[in-house]
Amino acid sequence: MSRYQQFVTNNFHFKPDQPEYWKTYLINNILLILIPIFLFLIFLNVFIHKLYVIALIDAIAIAISVALLWYFHSTSHVERVSMFAVGMYSLLLIAYILISGPNDYSFAWILVFPPVSYFLLGRDKGRIITIVSFLIIFVSVTWIQFASDASMFSIISLVNLIFSATCITILISFSELSRAKAYDFIRLKNEELLRLSHTDALTGISNRLKLDEVMLKELARIKRGTPNFSVIIGDLDLFKRFNDNFGHLAGDQILVEIASAIVPVCRLADTVGRWGGEEFLIICPETPLEGAMVLAEKIRKAVESLQLHRYGSITISLGVTTSRTQDDINTIIHRADKALYLAKSDGRNQVRSVTSFTQQLSLDDAD
């Protein structure tokens, strides 16, 4: 990346997908561009037009721009610097128009004000600041126009000012409204796509991708000292026989009902997902083995008591384990699977756990 790119993004303080990133880019560029512009105006006003007061205003503008750049790169406070920049431009513009005398071309700078205000402050604040500044300018110019003996500005310049500024303000307002709606639409669509990518299409609970993501986060947390988490894996008993008797459509409907029975039993902090087929996985953050065993038993009872209409009832076997610092996804799932195997081999419809490496080895030998 170039030094310029690094500078105008405050050393990449914000990411490109954040709205503040582009505001940071715009603020830095506006302040950088203003410095050479005002330097050139100082040269013109001092050596050619002999307008020393206007040159002083230009010098003040340069000093404020440099100060804002320094403050912005020190704090990266986008909203505050935006307000300072727009306020500075507004005050200097009013002073320039009122001091410049009978020069209609001074009004040209007013047309820059609406886009700067809207882009930096947003549609609502930008509209308020623009309207208030225009009213101050219009009232001040009108008062001076009628209070002085000589006409400072022609009537046609005032009329052109009003209509051109109004048109630009309306156009910028509609542009910002469209941009805001487009941004909200894209954001909502992205959130929906993310939700769908993490959701099991049949049951509406988390899918394996989401479960893997949560487990990786929990494994990272326990390495930083957070209390261990527990994992519960449940498998419906004799589900293949159920599918053979009633068909796969009925089996899908049962999976949906099982998921709906499991979710209310779990805490909001727990992640409930479909691990695959008729297997369900529950990740319980900061939960010891004893607490997970209690939850697994509640799940077992909830499934057992579920009324499946003409299909009768179904049961679930569950295996429970708790995390260890040296775990990865494979090791913790392997222990949970071993606990599930123990529950199945002991007669199904029960909860079993595996915690120690020795216990796991003995189960491996039994296999």
Domain boundaries, the chain: 3-195, 208-366
Give the list of residues 6+ apart from residue 275 with CB closer than 8 angstroms, or none: 208, 211, 233, 281
Measured in whole angstroms, how far is the alpha carbon of residue 113 from the centre of its chain? 30
What does each C-alpha distance from 213 to 149, 207, 210, 323 come to in angstroms?
Answer: 76, 10, 5, 15
Contact 270, 225 (CB under 8 A): no
Q: To which H or E segment does residue 52 belong? A: helix 52-75
Kindly report the pTM of this predicted structure.
0.57
pLDDT tens for residues 250-267?
A: 899 999 999 999 999 999
Our answer to whether residue 278 is catalytic in this structure is yes
In this prediction, residues 129-155 reach a mean pLDDT of: 70
In this prediction, residues 88-106 reach a mean pLDDT of: 71
With respect to CATH, is domain 208-366 assigned 1.10.10.10?
no
User: If you compute the radius of gyration of the chain from its CA atoms, what whole number of angstroms results?
Assistant: 34
Report the C-alpha gap between 367 and 356 in whole angstroms: 17
pLDDT tens for residues 283-309?
A: 999 999 999 999 999 999 999 998 887
pLDDT of residue 61 exceeding 60, the answer is yes
Q: To which H or E segment does residue 160 belong? A: helix 155-197
Confidence category of residue 103, pLDDT binned at 50, 70, 90: low
Give the list of residues 6+ apart from residue 45 with CB closer than 8 angstroms, or none: 51, 52, 54, 55, 58
Report the C-alpha gap between 335 and 354 in whole angstroms: 6
Range scoring the smallest mean pLDDT among 37-46, 102-111, 274-283, 348-357: 102-111
Tell me how far apart the 2 most distant CA atoms of the chain are, in Å: 108
Tokens of residue 5, six digits: 């790119």
Tokens of residue 259, six digits: 């998921």
Mean pLDDT in the chain? 84
Report the C-alpha gap between 262 and 272 in whole angstroms: 8
Report the C-alpha gap between 116 and 69 in whole angstroms: 16
Task: Read off the amino acid at residue 36.
Answer: P
Contact 267, 217 (CB under 8 A): no
Residues constituting the chain: 367
Tokens of residue 198, six digits: 């993490």
pLDDT of residue 346 exceeding 90, the answer is yes
Give the list of residues 6+ apart from residue 265 with CB closer than 8 angstroms, or none: 295, 298, 299, 302
For the chain, give me the number of helices (H) and strands (E)?
Answer: 13, 5
The pLDDT of residue 148: 59
Q: To which H or E segment does residue 275 belong? A: strand 271-276
Report the C-alpha gap between 35 and 172 in whole angstroms: 25
Three-state DSSP state, 70? helix
pLDDT of residue 232 exceeding 60, the answer is yes
Which entry of 278, 286, 297, 304 is annotated as an active-site residue? 278
Report the C-alpha gap between 355 and 289 in whole angstroms: 8
